[in-house]
Structure 1
């Protein structure tokens, strides 16, 4: 018996019946020889952590563009916080922590530079159907390893694709929005718990809002500090979830659920759409739109950027050029996009 097989046997003993054991996975799109040491989901987690897309997250915006302060979240620290929240919930509910962590670590690999303003820009200039969730799946399926992809398991790919629905329900009810695994559904909730909590924290730290502006109900129900708020939401989902006749159901108490919806609306109205944040996003969107137009018109420059960013080369006989340019823009970090814009469009003194 290999180390992997021994661990799979132990998984069957401690993971709840509604959890997803690695040995029960639907497998990969391309068959591979099993690893003698790691389970399928452990391999997926490692592949994501060692990917180029994961490394780029450290220089992608969460809320504040290219933050200079050491304590503001980036897309990478957001991802790590999501993974920790998701693992805590998964462990308490006896789910597969490896699967949960792999989905969490990969959920934002396709996020654009400049946060959601970048996503909005690509919706306007490329396709209204563009979403960072679908782009994250494209990163692991197509863009990593210069076109080979990471060949992840079905369950991880499904969880990445269905981790977000924009301003949709915190706990989705429509079949198409729901991940196949409970682990994937946990990551969606963990994503929302993490960003509600840390975006509020960063907004106060930056001075965009004052503590006195936080709704009284949010403080009363969830707590005053980042730590207490996180604990309140995590405990609520753990203690209210249970087996029902249709299977295991993730639930929150009405009070906490309504408070989270209220807090999300508060952040949209007072942080994400505040002049201090929104005005910078307008500038960022303009940068991405001009870069998109430039790369559409200059194939040599496009090929050079693809090589530099370790993305698959553009084949005019293969994929549509607009899609390749979209991949290029979406893969950029904030500082990469800013530097490229300066290099292309800003004059350099000659004398």
Structure 2
């Protein structure tokens, strides 16, 4: 049997069984740097595994989703958010006979560039870095350049494209971001799976943390989306699968009705969870941590490598500092701040 027979068999199975609208691995546009294909895995399976085993992925377990460095075992982190997005996106991809491996690779990589302290950290770096900062661009930078000491992961074009166009920010859920959308249907699924995951698990965590009670949630949202966490996810995912199949083609999206309620839930969370003093005040403090670390390293660039930064040749200092800070976990950023700025008790002999 030829060494690459297994991969060819999987690629042929994709051609035989997936939708004509799916992105088959054999048709990938390829990688920036040519390399010998894996004899067993398709290119998208290989990308998924590279992301899963990279250091940036492992650090997601100690990065904030909504609650800052939660001590409770059951609050979401950026890693568990990523896994929930992956589960939702793969369910939709399978139901639509699209490429589940490509979908999974995009979801696992979509937040690799996220800062410590969630979007509070992102806002700080956006203010400090000339040209601005956005976690989607940073996620692409992580896989293209920062991982493996400047070599990057050399992922396929389709995975990098899906990562770049996954975020919708606070804008319209169904609108294209940054003037475009993912070129593949699989990448477009991830965009919707991301918001389905976070509006549901952020609501769940806010209830668990006592930030809100069930009685605070508008009854119209619960009526139309579901009383329980599992019901709300099922409503959104089922609707997405049905709404995406239109006149013999596939157009990823939600029905107008469910889209309205998902948008209303997201907007309600911004007003009653993300921006309430009990949550927002901690993020104001966290923002100060990152701002002062950034300013310290701008004045003391020689200290960066001492604290673990990897500065790549040709990068401006502010870009290297941004890369370093964006890659930190919450706990490492707080530990580093304490080490640099706070006095330590004198240890007697």
After superposing the two structures, state which structure 1 stretch, 236-245 or 264-273, moved more: 236-245
Shift of 1:60: 0.1
Measured against aligned partners, the alpha-carbon deviations of 1:188-233 in whole angstroms (never above 9, x if no partner) come to: 0000000000000000100111110111111111101111100100
Equivalent residue, structure 2, for 1:282: 284
Q: Which runs of 5+ in 1 are unaligned?
A: none
Match of 2:250, SS state, is strand
1:346 alignment partner, one of 329, 342, 348:
342
| 4+ residue segments displaced more than 4 Å | none
Equivalent residue, structure 2, for 1:163: 166
- How far apart are the structure 2 equivalents of 1:314 and 1:236? 46
Q: Tell me, yes or no, if the aligned pair for 2:121 and 2:290 is still in contact at 8 Å.
A: yes
Match of 1:293, SS state, is helix
Paired residues, number: 344
1:43 aligns with 2:39: no
Measured against aligned partners, the alpha-carbon deviations of 1:105-136 in whole angstroms (never above 9, x if no partner) come to: 00000000000000000011114631000000
Match of 2:241, SS state, is helix
Measured against aligned partners, the alpha-carbon deviations of 1:52-100 in whole angstroms (never above 9, x if no partner) come to: 0000000000000000000000000000000000000000000000000
Equivalent residue, structure 1, for 2:297: 295
Q: Tell me, yes or no, if the aligned pair for 1:303 and 1:314 is still in contact at 8 Å.
A: no
Superposition TM-score, scaled by structure 1 size: 0.95
1:219 aligns with 2:217: no
Superposition TM-score, scaled by structure 2 size: 0.96
- 5 Å matches for 1:1-351? 1=2, 2-127=5-130, 129-173=132-176, 176-244=179-247, 248-307=250-309, 312-315=310-313, 318-350=314-346
- How far apart are the structure 2 equivalents of 1:306 and 1:172? 39
Q: 1:175 to 1:331 in 2, by over 3 A?
A: closer
C-alpha RMSD of matched pairs (Å): 1.4
- How far apart are the structure 2 equivalents of 1:251 and 1:50? 31
- How far apart are the structure 2 equivalents of 1:8 and 1:346? 57
Shift of 1:170: 1.6
Q: Tell me, yes or no, if the aligned pair for 1:288 and 1:337 is still in contact at 8 Å.
A: yes
Q: Which runs of 5+ in 2 are unaligned?
A: none
Q: Tell me, yes or no, if the aligned pair for 1:221 and 1:255 is still in contact at 8 Å.
A: no
- How far apart are the structure 2 equivalents of 1:106 and 1:244? 32
- How far apart are the structure 2 equivalents of 1:179 and 1:238? 18
Shift of 1:296: 1.4
- How far apart are the structure 1 equivalents of 2:148 and 2:96? 35
Shift of 1:146: 0.8
